Amino acid sequence: MSKIQAVTLNKLKPKDKDYTVPDGNGLSLLIKTNGTKLWEFRFTSPTTLKRRKSSLGKYPDVPLTLARDKAKGHKELIAKGIDPIDNNKALKQKIKIDQKGIFDKVVDEWFVKQKKELATSTYTRKVGQFENDVKPFFKGRLISSIKHPEIVKLLEMKA
């Protein structure tokens, strides 16, 4: 049961204290004293049975319809016994782990270490060679997916 109308969102003004305007089904808009408006979804965690709240984004960056869609997605996770906050943390962690094995990220980390050990001119030359010759060839790929024949092909092209 939705209560907030899109036209009233811009009319909500800050007060002396933060306050919330409920939309229904756990969704509410928090209006802070500085005028910032944040979407919140309040729920009982299916795993801990404790009350929690999840931020769904800042209004107007996240419009009313998108906030309702996000809240609906959270409710679907809860119905499956999944805590939306824990689920989001797990997804972010998985992305972080996946990116650790991406060629570009590994090369960038390696060059950070090399900068301390190499002379400036040598470091600049090596970074330039890698940026121009090697990175474009393997950009965005997992290191585990790069095979020996591809490396040989690159070396033959650049030799």
Each residue's pLDDT tens digit, 66-119: 999 999 999 999 999 999 999 988 888 877 766 677 888 888 888 888 888 889
- The whole-number pLDDT of residue 108 equals 86
**Number of Cβ atoms within 10 Å of the Cβ of 31:** 21
b/e code 75-114 from CB counts within 10 Å (16+ = b): eebbeeebbbbebeeeeeeeeeeeeeebbeeebeeeeeee
Q: Give yes or no for a contact between 33 and 15, defined as CB atoms under 8 angstroms apart.
A: yes
Residue where a domain stops, chosen among 48, 82, 116: 82
Residue 33 within any structural domain of the chain: yes
pTM: 0.60
Same domain for 105 and 69: no
CATH code of the domain containing 72: 3.30.160.390
| Residue-range definition of the domain harbouring residue 124 | 101-158
Same domain for 142 and 105: yes
Residue 95 within any structural domain of the chain: no
